[in-house]
Amino acid sequence: MSFTGNLRIGADSGILNALSASRISPRIFGGRPVTTGKYPWMAALFYRDCSPSTCQFCGGSLVRPNRIVTAAHCAAALGANTLIDVFIGEERLSNQGEVLQVSEFVVHPDFNPNTLDNDLAVLKLASESSFQPIDLIAPGDPDGLTAPGSRVTAIGWGATSEGGPGSLDLMEIDVPIIENSVAAVEYKKLGSTITDNMLAAGLLQGGGDACQGDSGGPLIAFERNSQNSIVPILVGVTSWGIGCARPKLPGLYTRLANYSDWLQETLR
């Protein structure tokens, strides 16, 4: 296992980070259970020599047969010699899914653990998954999938309430993209900065959001492909927030359309 950078993130940083609570079934904060087989590329990161249902701490997305996109700050949950695996292909963490070993954790070189800017990493797997990867958003988002007001979907096994337990069942919630300048008003009052590399998404009235344990998981949009089928597109990575589902404090996601060059190089 190799890492880029020296990551030390405090528990009071407001990050949607590793989950230490017991897991329950079913609900994520304001979400709904995912139907069987809907997102086969969804990955759970968990500590080796432990079960996914007990030791899942972050999410990720299979974007190549042997590559997972996740959040850089998920590395903060790992010690120098900590070994992790990924769980793919099942919605319930206690089911028998595909388990693959992680051989390398590549963190974006400009990741800032204080501001959470460039909160992006790639996991290299020791072997290839049998599942079909999800497509990445095109460079610069030419189709406007992340334009303010667009509907996107956040997915994860994270907490069902702020500070509460995680879910055994994979959950999803549909939320709108919020203009960064709108979200920044309340975040600024709390001493936090939203950069152009981040996407704000959530319900401004509160009540639905990603939460602890969802970090590194996908934010997806849907578009019609050349075969006239509606397919999911990975547009963001769950990064951070202040609390979960609080009014006027939407979740923040890494804006993947800004990282096409780095991803193309790292995903080789």
Cα 87 to Cα 92, 99, 112, 138, 188: the distances in Å are 10, 5, 28, 27, 37
Q: Are 73 and 209 in contact (CB under 8 A)?
A: no
Q: Spell out a b/e string for 137-150, using b for 16 or more CB atoms within 10 Å of the CB, else e.
A: beeebeeebbeeeb
Active-site residue, selected from the candidate residues 53, 129, 192, 215: 215
Q: Is 215 a catalytic residue?
A: yes
Alpha carbons 118 and 127: distance in angstroms, whole number: 27
Q: Is the dihedral of CA 82, 67, 122, 236 positive or negative?
A: negative
Active-site residue, selected from the candidate residues 61, 73, 85, 129: 73
Alpha carbons 203 and 149: distance in angstroms, whole number: 11
**Helix, strand, or coil (residue 266):** helix
Active-site residue, selected from the candidate residues 53, 61, 117, 119: 119
For the annotated catalytic residues, the residue numbers are 73, 119, 215
